[in-house]
Amino acid sequence: MEDYTFFKAGSGEKIEVPTSLNPSTNEVEWLKLIGEECCSAMGWPIGLLHPSMLKGSVQVRMMEAQVKEQIRVRQKTLRNFAKAFVAMNISRAMDAGRLPRITNSDWRAFDFTMPAEFVIDSYYSDQMKQTGLRTGTRTIQDVISSEGGNWEDVFAQRDIENKRKLDLAAGLVAYSSGSLTFERALDLVASYGNQNAAPLQSQFNDTPEETK
């Protein structure tokens, strides 16, 4: 037989199962309040600590705008100090003869390549960049800089890739013994990696009328 133990509560009392509250509810709320106050003091949105507080894409984008503004202010402050520090060391190097002296004061107009922007919704951000380029409110240099890149490096790489495409297209024309026009060959090169494009080898079997 099984043994049973019975407990009887006294008058005005009840039996409760012991529970563990570690940390206690008050302690959790206190820590939450400290975190919110710290975020507020630094200018950071509270949503960074509690993403569940953000309801809908509008609040998410509002928080993203607030974060970007705080980053912009901090970067501006650091950039000014950094430019002054670099300019001072360049000037000292010229005085010491380690660098040739530059009499033109424009050398102080240098700047830094900044890191990529803080982005939450990358798809929406890319759409806005494309819209800005089409409407003329943003430049290619501005867009590339917002992604942490240097527009001169990107354009130089683009030139290399475009020349490579031209070489590949010329090679395809020679390989096809003239059955492909150069324009068609460029289209084939551009379709590399496109899953919907027909196999490359099958393009050489087109009739002259189709390749015109």
**C-beta neighbour count of 92 within 10 angstroms:** 11
State how far the Cα of 38 lies from the Cα of 70, in Å rounded to an integer.
14
Q: What is the pLDDT of residue 23?
A: 73
- Where does the pLDDT of residue 89 fall: very low under 50, low under 70, confident under 90, or very high at 90 and above? very high
pLDDT of residue 180 exceeding 70, the answer is yes
pLDDT of residue 48 exceeding 80, the answer is no
What are the tens digits of pLDDT across the range 2-25?
A: 777 776 767 777 767 777 777 777
Range in 101-105, 160-164, 167-171 with the lowest mean pLDDT = 101-105
Counting every residue, how long is the chain? 212
pLDDT of residue 208 exceeding 50, the answer is no
DSSP letter at 210 equals H
* CA dihedral over 147, 153, 156, 162, signed as positive or negative: negative
**C-beta neighbour count of 166 within 10 angstroms:** 14
pLDDT of residue 210 exceeding 60, the answer is no
Whether a cis peptide bond, with omega within 30° of 0, leads into 45 is no
Averaged pLDDT of the chain: 79
pLDDT of residue 155 exceeding 60, the answer is yes
Rounded average pLDDT over 159-179: 88
- Where does the pLDDT of residue 74 fall: very low under 50, low under 70, confident under 90, or very high at 90 and above? confident
Q: What is the pLDDT of residue 141?
A: 86
User: Who's near 53: CB < 8 A, 6+ residues apart?
Assistant: 46, 47
DSSP letter at 49 equals T
Phi, psi for residue 61 in degrees, rounded to 5: -70, -30
